[in-house]
């Protein structure tokens, strides 16, 4: 199921991209990686790849996190999205905006042009489908990386992200992901206590992202006179190939916390889901997945995007001596605890940690962990879509699922049918 990718006459396959990445990485190491900003300078120049609402918010958080941040280059598939982002940045963080007209790029290859500029750090905030390719190109170019969650949409992409994260480590580059709970003082303290045995041996856990439909947050574009490709890329949260479905794009936050708490990833899972009310795109509106972790620990996962239903966004870990409601900062049981310390804006904190790591030449690397947490979600989606149970090893090592379109150009791209358990094939 590998599909040919065509970009302005250049053709490659994702299989070839991944097979050659190690070799290319080794070659790039010959010249080494230079210090990412001039000695004695505090300036960190940023390039934004993917100028939607989340990427723009991330850049603003970064500017707020530290002095000396300059926004130097921007790229997006659509010119109007870039213009809207630039206008927002000029309004909210005007002193940081240094984007000249010759450093604004539009099109499928905009990311390459951003990477050719003199930025130190790139923000990879295009829709999740492009994460693996953009991440690999950024590390090849010797750039530090902030990449939004999730780490991809299919097993092919996840394998690439893990490999690229290893290359970034070899090159001494920082990689921070948009799983901002990892940078919360409250979360860090509760997880530390779990790891120290305060709730005893972990026997179960639960993760939830049950919320409303996201139409009030993400824009849905009508087809109108747009090509299939443009329409789906603009309405990316509602198509599996662009977003991974909401279990991947959104619920990955909670699954990441559970992997963090259990210090492991699942060994297998079985899930279900469907579309009770959703009529946009081809993604589901609810999932329920049971994951089995090492030592027989069972983890229940729920996520839903249905307006008018009860909300619950939380993570709970159950042990032999207590229960930790991680999102609340509370432990009940033999050694109760209630976190009452400071807990600054997590989005700003993750940026502060990233910028500090660059300036201190002390790289941090979250690439593998976000890729593994994303694979949790991808496994759950694959199980729900097909009705089949599956193992981590099979999904990570053997699955050939590749959601890439045949080619990247504004033209015909039929919408894939909504998955039907028992009929949709496990690939």
Q: What is the pLDDT of residues 408-423, one digit of tens each?
A: 999 999 999 999 999 9
- The confidence band for 12, taking pLDDT boundaries of 50, 70 and 90, is very low
The predicted model gives 150-175 an average pLDDT of 98
Q: How distant, in Å, are the alpha carbons of 124, 189, 301, 352 from that of 254?
A: 21, 17, 9, 22
- The confidence band for 9, taking pLDDT boundaries of 50, 70 and 90, is very low
CATH class of 4-181+350-366: alpha beta
The pLDDT value given to residue 216 = 85
Looking at 20-29, 138-147, 159-168, 239-248, which range is the least confident one? 20-29
Residue 116 has pLDDT above 80, yes or no: yes
Q: What is the C-alpha separation between 67 and 191, in angstroms, rounded?
A: 30
The better pLDDT of the pair 311, 40 is held by 311
Residue 122 has pLDDT above 80, yes or no: yes
Residue 280: count of CB within 10 angstroms of its CB: 15
Helix segments in 66-130, DSSP class H: 79-92, 110-115
The pLDDT value given to residue 41 = 62
Q: What is the C-alpha separation between 199 and 15, in angstroms, rounded?
A: 45
Residue 171: count of CB within 10 angstroms of its CB: 18
Q: What order do you get walking across the sheet with 312-319 strand by strand?
A: 337-338, 330-333, 322-325, 312-319, 202-211, 298-305, 286-292, 268-274, 390-391
The predicted model gives 195-213 an average pLDDT of 98
The predicted model gives 393-413 an average pLDDT of 97
The predicted model gives 378-402 an average pLDDT of 98
Residue 384 has pLDDT above 60, yes or no: yes
Q: What is the C-alpha separation between 363 and 392, in angstroms, rounded?
A: 29
The predicted model gives 162-167 an average pLDDT of 98
**Pair type for strands 44-49 and 121-124:** parallel
The pLDDT value given to residue 42 = 83
Q: Please give the CATH number for the structural domain made up of 185-342+375-397.
A: 3.30.360.10
pLDDT above 90 coverage of the chain, percent: 89
CATH 3.30.360.10 domain span(s) along the chain: 185-342+375-397
Q: How distant, in Å, are the alpha carbons of 58, 183, 357 from that of 147?
A: 10, 15, 15
CATH 3.40.50.720 domain span(s) along the chain: 4-181+350-366
Residue 17 has pLDDT above 90, yes or no: no
Residue 306 has pLDDT above 90, yes or no: yes
160 by Cβ neighbours in 10 Å (0-12 / 13-18 / 19+) ranks as: buried
The pLDDT value given to residue 31 = 33
DSSP string over 280-332 = STT--SEEEEEEE-GGG-EEEEEEEE-TTS--EEEEEEEESSEEEEGGGTEEE
How confident is the model over 233-279, as pLDDT tens digits?
A: 999 999 999 999 999 999 999 999 999 999 999 999 999 999 999 99
The predicted model gives 378-394 an average pLDDT of 98
The predicted model gives 219-239 an average pLDDT of 97
The predicted model gives 373-395 an average pLDDT of 98
Looking at 30-39, 297-306, 319-328, which range is the least confident one? 30-39
How confident is the model over 21-79, as pLDDT tens digits?
A: 434 343 333 333 434 453 346 899 999 999 999 999 999 999 999 999 999 999 999 99
At 49, list the tokens.
């790849």
């Amino acid at each position: 199921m590998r599909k040919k990718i065509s970009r302005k006459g250049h053709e490659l396959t994702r299989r070839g991209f991944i097979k050659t990445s190690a070799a290319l990485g080794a070659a790039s190491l010959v010249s080494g990686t230079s210090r990412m900003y001039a000695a004695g300078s505090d300036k960190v120049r940023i390039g934004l790849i993917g100028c939607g609402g989340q990427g723009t918010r991330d850049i603003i958080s970064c500017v707020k996190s530290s002095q000396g941040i300059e926004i130097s280059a921007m790229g997006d598939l659509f010119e109007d999205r870039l213009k809207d982002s630039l206008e927002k940045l000029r309004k909210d963080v005007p002193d940081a905006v240094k984007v000249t007209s010759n450093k604004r790029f539009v099109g499928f290859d905009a990311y390459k042009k951003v990477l050719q500029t003199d930025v130190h750090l790139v923000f990879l905030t295009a829709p999740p489908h492009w994460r693996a390719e953009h991440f690999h190109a950024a590390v090849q170019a010797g750039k530090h990386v902030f990449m939004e969650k999730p780490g991809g949409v299919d097993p092919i992409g996840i394998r690439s992200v893990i490999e690229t994260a290893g290359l970034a480590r070899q090159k001494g580059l920082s990689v921070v992901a948009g799983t901002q709970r990892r940078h919360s003082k409250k979360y860090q303290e509760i997880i530390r206590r779990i790891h120290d045995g305060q709730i005893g041996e972990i026997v179960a856990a639960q993760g939830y992202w049950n919320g409303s439909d996201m139409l009030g947050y993400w824009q849905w574009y009508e087809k109108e006179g747009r090509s299939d490709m443009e329409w789906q890329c603009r309405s990316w949260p509602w198509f599996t190939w662009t977003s991974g479905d909401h279990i991947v794009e959104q619920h990955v936050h909670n699954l990441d916390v559970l992997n963090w708490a259990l210090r492991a990833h699942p060994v297998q899972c079985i899930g279900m889901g469907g579309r009770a009310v959703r009529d946009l795109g081809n993604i589901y509106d609810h999932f329920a997945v049971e994951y089995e972790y090492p030592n027989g620990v069972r983890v229940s996962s729920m996520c839903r995007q249905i307006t008018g239903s009860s909300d619950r966004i939380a993570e709970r870990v159950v042990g032999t001596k207590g229960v930790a409601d991680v999102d609340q900062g509370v432990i009940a049981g033999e050694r109760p605890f209630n976190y009452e310390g400071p807990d600054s804006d997590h989005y700003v904190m993750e940026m502060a940690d990233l910028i500090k790591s660059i300036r201190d030449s002390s790289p941090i690397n979250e690439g593998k962990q976000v890729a593994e947490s994303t694979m949790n979600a991808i496994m759950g989606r694959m199980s729900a879509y097909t009705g089949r149970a599956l193992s981590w090893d099979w999904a990570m090592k053997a699955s050939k699922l590749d959601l890439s379109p045949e080619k990247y150009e504004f033209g015909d791209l039929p919408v894939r049918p909504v998955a039907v358990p028992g009929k949709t094939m496990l690939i």
